């Protein structure tokens, strides 16, 4: 290990300063001939050694092909080197077994289907409720009704406690009288917090 440290100029300089008792910070120590950083073995930038350690902590039976964060945590508990996080992320990303066994936890999306183009105004509506807005003149909800063909919109302010009652008694009957040709209704809810 000392030979590998001597091949790295910066690390050799750091090692010598720790040997003579003038480390750059109290985080660096030498124990049993090894350079430690925060009680973890400080490794030189030797690709062969680093790959061997990453292989042992990620791809062996001990490592079990854990994901990036777990592999970083395992290695960081004992070792430290410059660029460690980036090297481990690259190693795990390039691991062939991890690429083959990668599981997608989402259902397949399939092809997106465009909405049909309405033939007449007020035939297709998009209705949104924008809720949890800051109070403005006693209102905290906006009831939005948009005609998909003409893009004409109604923006009706609502008080939060009266949402359902107001919609049943006033909004829907009024809007439905204006929209006799209603064929489709798209309803969403947008929450701002």
List the domains of the chain with CATH numbers. Answer: 2-101 (1.10.340.70), 124-191 (3.30.420.10)
Eight-state DSSP code of residue 61? T
Three-state secondary-structure class, residue 8: coil
Give the pLDDT of the chain (193 residues) as one tens digit per residue.
555 565 676 777 777 887 777 777 888 888 887 888 888 888 887 788 888 888 888 888 777 888 888 888 999 899 988 889 999 889 888 888 877 776 667 777 778 888 888 888 877 778 787 878 898 998 888 888 888 889 999 888 877 766 556 665 655 555 555 554 455 555 444 444 3
d(CA 96, CA 151): 51
The length of the chain in residues reads 193
CA dihedral 7, 8, 13, 15 (to 10 degrees): -80
């Amino acid at each position: 290990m000392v030979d590998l440290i001597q091949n790295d100029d910066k690390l050799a300089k750091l090692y010598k300063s720790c040997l003579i008792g003038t480390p750059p910070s109290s985080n660096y120590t030498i124990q049993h001939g090894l350079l430690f950083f925060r009680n973890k073995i400080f490794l030189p930038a030797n690709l062969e050694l680093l790959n061997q350690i990453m292989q042992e902590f990620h791809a062996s039976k001990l490592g079990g092909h854990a994901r990036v964060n777990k592999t970083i945590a395992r290695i960081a508990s004992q070792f430290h080197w410059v660029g460690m996080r980036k090297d481990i992320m690259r190693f795990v990303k390039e691991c062939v077994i991890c690429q083959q066994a990668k599981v997608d936890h989402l259902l397949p999306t399939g092809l997106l289907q465009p909405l049909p183009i309405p033939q007449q105004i007020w035939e297709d509506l998009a209705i949104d409720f924008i809720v949890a807005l800051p109070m403005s003149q006693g209102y905290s909800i906006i009831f939005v009704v948009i005609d998909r063909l003409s893009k004409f919109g109604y923006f009706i302010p609502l008080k939060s406690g009266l949402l359902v009652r107001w919609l049943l008694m006033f909004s829907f009957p009024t809007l439905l009288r204006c929209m006799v040709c209603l064929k489709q209704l798209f309803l969403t809810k947008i929450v701002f917090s």
